[in-house]
């Protein structure tokens, strides 16, 4: 299973390009972890897993590079407000993780 991590909320300014590197855990050999606490998870990441980043849901001004996980947001003034984005990472061996978050587009303050 691949484990995806994105900051809980993002802010993008209308009229500007915002870049954000989506991150995923990487293993040094076999990494296996299990949590029986309140946030239960089980994860296994192996060296040489080829990760694939996918945009499951998001506005048209969001682009995601499938190999690097680099996300670019290019909102315009008409996009001001909150938008939901859902990302997925796959490890090519059936492992997958999904994370959703909101991005807030704020007004361009340049004269």
Q: Which pLDDT belongs to residue 30?
A: 47
Q: Which pLDDT belongs to residue 14?
A: 94
Q: What is the DSSP string of 10-60?
A: EEEETTS-EEEE-EE---SSEEEEEE-SSS-EEEEEETT---EEEEEE--T
Q: pLDDT for 43-60, tens place per residue?
A: 555 566 778 889 999 999
Q: Which pLDDT belongs to residue 50?
A: 79
Q: pLDDT for 11-36, tens place per residue?
A: 899 999 999 888 776 544 444 455 56
């Amino acid at each position: 299973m691949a484990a995806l991590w994105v900051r809980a909320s993002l802010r993008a300014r209308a009229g500007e390009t915002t870049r954000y590197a989506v991150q995923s855990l990487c293993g040094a050999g076999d990494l296996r972890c299990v949590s029986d606490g309140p946030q239960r998870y089980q994860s296994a990441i192996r060296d040489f897993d080829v990760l694939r980043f996918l945009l499951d849901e998001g506005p048209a001004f969001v682009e995601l590079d499938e190999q690097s996980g680099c996300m670019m947001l290019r909102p315009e003034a008409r996009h001001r407000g909150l938008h939901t984005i859902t990302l997925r990472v796959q490890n090519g061996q059936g492992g997958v993780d999904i994370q959703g978050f909101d991005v807030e587009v704020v007004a361009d303050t340049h004269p």
